[in-house]
């Protein structure tokens, strides 16, 4: 199997990590892979990335840091990502990783003027998504988990917008043939989302419920980038059967 490189840009909350693991564990679980099936490089902790062309496929995690702070390790990683994109390496950026990828490629990242977005929300997929290798087959509206205060305010030149909603126009994009960013958290489940929402007591009426689409997207990326068995997508109506918002 092609080697998966997970670029770790931060850690989850200590209490959650103690019971559920960390970002990289959730990503691997969503892909249907066991622990040890990826090389994890903790760039926020000072670890050094390999040469860009040596990575078979790349996932960039979320973080509690802010891309707009231009931290040294983050800017070094951004420069590295430009090279990785030029090598044609399949890349998936998640939340902070989505923003960092956009920043690296010439987009604009900063605080969302509407404030933080938290919970399980609906995003819509424009027509471009129907032809996208990662998202094609999904319905035109899907429910996903979100937890962020910064957003990609302007996509990189040449990027294709693949998802958005009333809160954040750029919930997903593709650059070139095989580099994707998703603002939402495909690695979250409802339990993880509840833990994050509990930390944001000022946000009233946060809606959270189970949704299958995040794991399906992770498995599709694993299929495309790592040569794993392909996966189909559920229809929206089937996916929502028996789901009750909480």
Q: What distance in Å separates the CA atoms of residue 244 and residue 33, rounded to the nearest whole number? A: 29
Concerning whether 187 is annotated as a catalytic residue, the answer is yes
Give 164's strand partners: 124
Q: Which of 95, 98, 117, 178 is catalytic?
A: 95
Measured over the CA atoms of residue 129, residue 140, residue 166 and residue 213, the dihedral's sign is negative
Choice among 98, 117, 178, 187 that is catalytic: 187
Q: Is 98 a catalytic residue?
A: no
| Backbone φ, ψ for residue 13 (5° rounding) | -65, 140
Known active-site residue 178 = no
Cα-Cα-Cα-Cα dihedral sign, residues 187, 192, 193, 199: negative
**Residue tagged active-site, from 98, 103, 148, 185:** 185
Residues 144 and 185: beta-carbon distance below 8 Å = yes
What gap in Å lies between CA 130 and CA 83, rounded to an integer? 28
3-state secondary structure of 216: helix
Q: What share of the chain is helix, strand, coil (3-state, %, to 5)?
A: 30, 25, 45
Q: How many CB atoms lie within 10 A of CB 97?
A: 30
Contacting residues for 95 by C-beta, under 8 A, at least 6 apart: 61, 62, 63, 147, 148, 182, 183, 184, 185
Residue 168 half-sphere exposure toward CB, CA atoms < 13 A: 33
Looking at the chain, how many residues does it have? 246
Active-site residues: which are they? 95, 185, 187
């Amino acid at each position: 199997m092609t080697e998966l490189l997970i670029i770790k840009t931060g850690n989850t909350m200590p209490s959650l990590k103690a019971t559920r693991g960390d970002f990289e564990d959730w990503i691997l679980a969503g892909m249907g892979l066991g622990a040890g099936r990826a090389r994890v490089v903790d760039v926020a902790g000072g670890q050094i990335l390999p040469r860009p062309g040596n990575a078979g496929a790349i996932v960039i995690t979320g973080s509690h840091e802010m891309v707009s702070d231009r931290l040294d390790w983050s800017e070094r990683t951004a420069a590295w990502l430009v090279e990785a994109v030029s090598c044609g390496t399949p890349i998936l950026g998640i939340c902070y990783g989505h923003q960092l990828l956009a920043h690296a490629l010439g987009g604009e990242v900063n605080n969302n003027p509407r404030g933080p977005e938290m919970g399980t929300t609906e995003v819509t997929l424009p027509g471009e998504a129907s032809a996208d290798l990662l998202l094609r087959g999904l319905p035109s509206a899907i429910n996903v988990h979100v937890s962020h205060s910064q957003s990609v305010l302007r996509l990189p030149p040449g990027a294709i917008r693949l998802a958005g909603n009333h809160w954040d126009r750029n919930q997903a994009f593709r650059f070139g043939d095989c580099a994707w960013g998703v603002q939402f958290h495909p690695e979250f489940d409802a339990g993880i989302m509840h833990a994050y929402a509990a930390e944001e007591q000022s946000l009233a009426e946060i809606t959270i419920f189970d949704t299958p689409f995040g794991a399906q997207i992770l498995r599709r990326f694993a299929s495309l980038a790592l040569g794993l068995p392909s996966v189909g997508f559920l229809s929206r109506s089937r996916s929502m059967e028996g789901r009750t918002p909480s």
